[in-house]
Amino acid sequence: MSDMNVFRAEIRDWLEANCPPAMRTPMPVNESPGGGRRAKFNNPDTKVWLDRCADKGYTVASWPKQYGGAGFDKAQIVVWQEEMRRINARPPHVGMGISMIGPALLEFGTEEQKLEHLPQIARGNIWWCQGYSEPGAGSDLASLRTSAVDDGDDFVINGHKVWTSGANFADWMFCLVRTDPDAPKHEGISFVLFDMETPGVGVKPIKLISGLSPFCETFLDDVRTSKSNLVHELNKGWTVGKRLLQYERASIGGIGGAQKSKSLEAYAREYVGVDVEGKVSDVSLRDSVLHHRMNDKAFALTLRRASQESATGRAPGALSSLFKYYGTEQNKGKYELLLSILGTQAVGWGGDTFAENELTTTRAWLRSKANSIEGGTSEIQLNIIAKRILALPD
């Protein structure tokens, strides 16, 4: 047996022995393993699964062992993901810790910062949020005004962030602040970290049309953070911030292998019915679902090719904009189709008339409308692709 086959056998055995059966079923939203100091585990197996993976470094398998990872190389990661998918395992841990600030610290953090934060992230002990957008700085993020002023060993932060995902549950924030008001806008920004329990941090959830409040406004009023929480150099925060947006775009765009969920075809058969040959009876719906399926296939292949090329250093970083754009359009398209499949079963907002998954589909459809806005709008992604990849003029 080759080394890789031995490795695969080990992973498979470990998963068989350690992944609880309940963690091999599709994950309801309220069982998402976000972790954090105030973590609530609606299903106790979620906690078991998180801890078992964290003990082995599997929550962040590609990170070095000293930072809480398993030190897997590219090929081992592929095997790990394949074996996870084979048993339809839920991700042991999700969140901005492992998908955004973790990779940014690995790339830009000091050794002290890495040792302080990465193992905590890997264990799911700290929930992170992202202090980027402001009321006047959305697509034009670099025009942000939240200021951090040098005061001895600390920075003192004042400002107003908006669309802060999960700020009401978060333990720490990574935040873009202006440290040089006189420099050109991209050159006076720094990237700092602070604990959300610091005096002066105020959080107010924003109510959305989906009825949910996944985003907040965050008010920063004389918030102090030690200078040791500056990531990368002073006034070089845009470099970190931009890089991190690429991780974010990749994750909104759907990189990283999702669990299998009920297919559009299955929904169509159930709600619209089948003809004598067992095909979905509505011809135009059948076409739309097939068209969507083919796009999905091509997109998955593009993601895989880009991931292989980035391993060899050939893929441009700006390609994450393509993933973000295409992935979110696909996701919105999927929900449009689902809605039209569900018909009047998709217009419920409450009551016993509708099945739980019908009600959540309607809300998820509304939620999907923000996909092409958050993390940089579709228009911004197209600009990035035009300028950074095709080298078109401003």
Helix, strand, or coil (residue 33) = coil
CA distances from 368 to 22, 264, 365 (A): 27, 16, 5
Q: Does residue 111 belong to the site contacting another protein (CB under 8 A)?
A: no
Q: Does residue 265 belong to the site contacting another protein (CB under 8 A)?
A: no
The minimum distance between CB 136 and another protein, in angstroms, equals 8
CB atoms within 10 A of CB 63: 23
Q: How many CA atoms lie within 13 A of 4 on its CB side?
A: 10
Instruction: Name the one range near another protein by CB under 8 A: 38-46, 116-124, 233-241, 338-346.
Output: 338-346
Instruction: Name the one range near another protein by CB under 8 A: 104-112, 144-152, 201-209, 293-301.
Output: 201-209
The minimum distance between CB 237 and another protein, in angstroms, equals 19
Instruction: Name the one range near another protein by CB under 8 A: 7-15, 186-194, 254-262, 376-384.
Output: 376-384
The minimum distance between CB 203 and another protein, in angstroms, equals 16
Q: Does residue 345 belong to the site contacting another protein (CB under 8 A)?
A: yes
For every residue of 282-323, DSSP letters joined together read -HHHHHHHHHHHHHHHHHHHHHHHHHHHHHTT-S-TTHHHHH
Instruction: Name the one range near another protein by CB under 8 A: 35-43, 196-204, 247-255, 282-290.
Output: 282-290
Q: How far is CA 264 from the centre of its chain?
A: 23
Binding residues among 6-65 for another protein as defined by CB under 8 A: none
Q: Does residue 318 belong to the site contacting another protein (CB under 8 A)?
A: no
Contacts of 44 (CB under 8 A, 6+ apart): none
Of residues 73 and 352, the one with the C-beta less far from another protein: 352
Candidate list 106, 348, 357, 360; residue touching another protein; CB under 8 A? 348
Specify the amino acid at residue 249.
R
> Cα(299)–Cα(131) distance, rounded to whole angstroms?
30
The minimum distance between CB 280 and another protein, in angstroms, equals 12
Q: Does residue 346 belong to the site contacting another protein (CB under 8 A)?
A: yes
Q: Does residue 272 belong to the site contacting another protein (CB under 8 A)?
A: yes
Task: Using DSSP bridges, classify how beta strands 201-206 and 215-226 pair: parallel, antiparallel or unpaired.
Answer: antiparallel
Instruction: Name the one range near another protein by CB under 8 A: 26-34, 221-229, 283-291, 302-310.
Output: 283-291
First to last CA, the chain: 55
- Rounded to 10°, the helix 3-18/74-86 angle is 40
Instruction: Name the one range near another protein by CB under 8 A: 13-21, 97-105, 135-143, 152-160.
Output: 135-143
Candidate list 43, 99, 130, 133; residue touching another protein; CB under 8 A? 133
> Cα(352)–Cα(348) distance, rounded to whole angstroms?
10
> Cα(123)–Cα(102) distance, rounded to whole angstroms?
12
The two three-digit tokens of residue 244, written as one number: 């991190």
Candidate list 209, 266, 274, 290; residue touching another protein; CB under 8 A? 209
- Footprint of another protein on this chain (CB under 8 A)? 133, 136-140, 143, 162-163, 206-210, 215, 272-273, 282-285, 332, 336, 339-340, 343-354, 362, 366, 369-370, 372-374, 377-379, 382
